[in-house]
Copies of this chain bind each other. A is one copy, B any other.
Amino acid sequence: MAGDTRERIMESARLTVQDLGYGGLSFRELAKDVGIKSASIHYYFPTKGDLGEAILGRYIDRYAAFLEGLLEAGTEPGALMRHYTDMFRATLLNGNRLCLAGMLSAERNELPAEICAEILRWGEMNESWIARVLALQGTGDPADFRPRAAAVFAAVSGAQMIAHGRHDVALYDDVVAAYRASGLIP
């Protein structure tokens, strides 16, 4: 089946980067997992940076589609934000993994420029979606909620990161609950 090898390279690489980081991704281990030689990976992705850009680009597109679907299915801010925080929670449950973009954010100073550009796009996408949700409960344009949306995005990302660092999903739950109690998250 066409494109199957490329597909399996991307899937295995994504899972590894979310687990061990970009620096922890080895072409030789990756090739072993897919069942080819490490030199063959370069046929699909000339450099490690190309592979990183490809998996992050698709990661963003898929979550953008998922979030778009949530907005089409419901308009209650509390329920929408619950789905949003559950999304980050599920990543922790899957082998204490970190959001792909969050992991790459930490490593950004040693990443090629194309990946850094995708990290920006991840933030823009998340913040614009949250701003639309916040606009549902108040009056005004989603653009007016952009600063607070950035705060919600940063707060949820941070909760995931420290819970990942301490390998403690309950900590994520407690922190997110405190965000809600403080009124930061609807």
Contacts and interface: CB of A to CB of B under 8 A. Distances in A.
Contacts of A166: 105, 119-120, 123
A96 B158 CA distance: 17
B151 A179 contact: yes
The interface size bin for chain A is 35 or more
A182 B151 contact: yes
A116 interface: yes
B21 A164 contact: no
Interface in A23-44: 23-24
A128 interface: no
A106 B158 contact: no
Interface of A: 19-24, 96, 98, 101-110, 116, 119-120, 123, 147-148, 150-151, 153-159, 161-167, 171, 174-175, 177-179, 181-184
